[in-house]
Amino acid sequence: MNIEKQKNRLILLSIVILILFTGCAKQNEIEQSVSETISAEYQYTFNPHVITDEYIQVYGEGFKEEFFSLCDAILNVEDSFDCSSSERFYQLLSVSSSCFPLADELIDKNQTRVENGKCYLVYNFSKEETKEKITLFIDKVTGFIKESIRYEEPDYVKAMELYTALLHKDSYDYSYTLEDSLDLRTYRAIMYDTGICQEIAREYIYYLLQIGIDALTCSSLNKEQSEAHEWVLIKLDGQYYHVDPTYGLNYPESLFFFGMDDIQRAYYGDFPVENYRYGETDLSGLSANDRRFEKFWLAKSYTIDHKNRKIEIIDNNTEQKFVYDFD
């Protein structure tokens, strides 16, 4: 009788083990199936060489080479780099506000000089302090982008994720004065999570350039000429769109100010299109006419479903839910 019971127990134990093994195998199949539907992880590495395409169009291909030489010289804390003229140095420095924010922080532009095709850099800090600031900057940019973007998705989805992450990270500096505006620094917004429109807009541009999306500043006076404002003109799939991270700070879950065309941009803030100034140059003739993102303009909140590649929004007026496939 004991032998019979022992046999039955062995049989029962074998069945349980078989069920557990089959269940685990099935679970592994399910997990593998789910993982295959989610996009690949986004791989990001800090890029020391980024520049807005429109600046190259204005200044020429040689400008890019000189700009990257400036970047390399600062990152290596070198005393000089090849530069054609003092005028060119100030052009490089102007572009660096959105394409290499370290320059404004580290370089004493009043003492730096250009002689015989060479720019002799003067730093605001000691060599060791400069190196430390460079390391902290790269770590901060890298950490922010990696935390904001987890999966390899279409550019506009990554731009959305950076936009929302920035709105949650930054605050507007209401203590800033007109005198302070003479010393605007994108570096401040990146490192200290605060700033005014010029700093926050250029911070967003720098993040976009880091992930391979072209963008530049757009600025204007309002119709009454009582307010000056700056935001971002982003280029996605060959089309320009307005994105205003500063206005977005008060609505960090929304997409009210993402992907606007010229008409929508002009409506928010009463900024006439004919007054727009693009970038740090006299660029003109740029326009944002595509309304691809119109369906998101009334999204008071949104969720990205990476598994099913969908964007779910909650309409601000009706509280109704809408779900859209990735383009």
- Clarify whether residues 208 and 280 are in a common domain: yes
- Mind listing the pLDDT tens digit for each residue in 174-201? 998 766 666 789 999 999 999 999 999 9
pLDDT at 3: 47
User: Is 164 a domain residue?
Assistant: yes
- Clarify whether residues 175 and 251 are in a common domain: yes
Q: What percent of the chain has pLDDT over 90?
A: 82
pTM of the full structure: 0.88
Distances (CA, A) of 167 to 15, 164, 195, 199: 56, 5, 12, 13
Domain residues for 100? 53-129
- Clarify whether residues 173 and 265 are in a common domain: yes
- Residue 313 in contact with residue 296, Cβ under 8 Å? yes
- Clarify whether residues 108 and 214 are in a common domain: no
- Mind listing the pLDDT tens digit for each residue in 57-95? 999 989 999 999 999 999 999 999 999 999 999 999 999
User: Is 209 a domain residue?
Assistant: yes
- Clarify whether residues 159 and 94 are in a common domain: no
Residue type, 28: N
| Residue 301, pLDDT above cutoff 60 | yes
- Residue 315 in contact with residue 299, Cβ under 8 Å? yes
- Clarify whether residues 287 and 160 are in a common domain: yes
User: Is 215 a domain residue?
Assistant: yes
CATH code for the domain of 263: 3.10.620
Instruction: Map tokens 């005393």 to a residue.
Output: 79
Say if strands 171-172 and 194-195 run parallel, antiparallel, or are unpaired.
parallel
Number of domains in the chain: 2
- Clarify whether residues 57 and 156 are in a common domain: no
Q: How far apart are CA 23 and CA 28, in angstroms?
A: 9
| Residue 32, pLDDT above cutoff 80 | no
- Clarify whether residues 161 and 287 are in a common domain: yes
Both structure tokens of 100: 């290499």
Q: Which of 135, 284, 162, 279 is nearest to 218 (CA)?
A: 279
Residues 147, 151, 155, 160, CA torsion sign: negative
Say if strands 310-315 and 228-236 run parallel, antiparallel, or are unpaired.
unpaired
- Clarify whether residues 157 and 258 are in a common domain: yes
Q: How far apart are CA 305 and CA 38, in angstroms?
A: 9
